[in-house]
């Protein structure tokens, strides 16, 4: 949910200021540069998430590349990821976000409902999602942040308006505050360290292969 609506007329300037503040952090700056490059893909004055049919087709193609099943349902009718398939009656950006979650989830959570993270804003059956929850609190927040940024970079890779998800998922919330900059720097670094993005900030096909114990140790080392 977008916390602070930002007029489209100010968006380019806000991103440029953010990019300039990352001058000493090349990876984070490359991440932002890839997102910034999608400003030109915004149609008209609409800054809501894309629902373009071609973007939907690309998102479904990305699911297929990772071997994820497709359920032609709205997640409000159940859950977003049921352990086998993604409910795809939603914006392409949100579908791509589920791919990022699949990549980041360790094998022990990959087949759990909503990846063991509990109910997201799209899932209608929160009781079912919460029954499979394995990650809580700060650890859950950290994984959501990594999935958010990885999904946004997949959108950029597919030449979709990633800038809209960057805005909608509140990466610009707070402007160029130290906290906000550090959040992007840290999250980008974690994705690079895990092999989910390359040195040019392009997403890879990497899947998390950590065991439960390894994942616990790794998540604490990233805090």
The model's pLDDT over 88-117, given as tens digits with 9 standing for 90+, comes to: 999 999 999 999 999 999 999 999 999 999
Q: Which residues of the chain have pLDDT under 50?
A: 3, 211-223
Measured CA to CA, the distance from residue 3 to residue 86 in angstroms comes to 26
Q: How far is CA 49 from CA 2, 27, 46, 92, 115, in A?
A: 11, 26, 8, 8, 23
Measured CA to CA, the distance from residue 4 to residue 6 in angstroms comes to 6
Say what the pLDDT of residue 155 is. 98
Measured CA to CA, the distance from residue 223 to residue 210 in angstroms comes to 17
Say what the pLDDT of residue 45 is. 58
Say what the pLDDT of residue 5 is. 64
Q: What is the CA radius of gyration of the chain?
A: 17
Q: Where are the domains of the chain?
A: 8-221
Q: Which two tokens stand for residue 133?
A: 């929850």
Measured CA to CA, the distance from residue 85 to residue 144 in angstroms comes to 19
- Of the CA atoms within 13 Å of residue 144, those in its CB half-sphere come to 17
The DSSP result for 87-153, as a single string, is E-SS-HHHHHHHHHHHHHS-HHHHTSGGGGS---SS-S-HHHHHHT----HHHHHHHHHHHHHHHHH
Instruction: Tell me if residue 40 falls in helix, strand or coil.
Output: helix
Q: How far is CA 201 from CA 157, 195, 223, in A?
A: 10, 10, 21
The model's pLDDT over 20-47, given as tens digits with 9 standing for 90+, comes to: 999 999 999 999 999 999 998 876 656 6
Say what the pLDDT of residue 68 is. 98
Measured CA to CA, the distance from residue 36 to residue 7 in angstroms comes to 16
Measured CA to CA, the distance from residue 206 to residue 108 in angstroms comes to 16
């Amino acid at each position: 949910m977008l916390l602070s609506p930002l007029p489209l007329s100010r968006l380019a300037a806000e991103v440029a200021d953010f990019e300039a503040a990352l001058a000493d952090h090349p990876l984070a700056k490359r991440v932002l540069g890839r997102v910034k490059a999608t400003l030109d893909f915004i149609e008209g004055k609409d800054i809501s998430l894309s629902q373009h049919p071609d973007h939907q087709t690309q998102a479904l193609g990305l699911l297929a590349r990772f071997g994820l099943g497709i359920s032609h349902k709205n997640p409000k009718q159940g859950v977003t990821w049921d352990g086998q398939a993604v409910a795809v009656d939603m914006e392409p950006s949100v579908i791509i976000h589920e791919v990022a979650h699949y990549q980041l989830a360790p094998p022990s959570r990959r087949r759990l409902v909503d990846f063991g993270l509990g109910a997201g804003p799209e899932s209608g059956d929160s009781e079912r999602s919460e029954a499979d929850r394995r990650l809580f609190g700060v650890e859950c927040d950290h994984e959501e942040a990594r999935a958010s940024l990885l999904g946004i970079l997949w959108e950029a890779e597919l030449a979709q308006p990633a800038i809209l998800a960057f805005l909608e998922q509140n990466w610009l919330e707070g402007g160029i505050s130290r906290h906000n900059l550090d959040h992007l720097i840290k999250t980008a670094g974690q994705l690079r360290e895990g092999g989910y993005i390359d040195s040019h900030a392009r997403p890879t096909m990497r899947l998390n292969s950590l065991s439960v114990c390894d994942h616990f140790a790794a998540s604490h080392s990233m805090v």
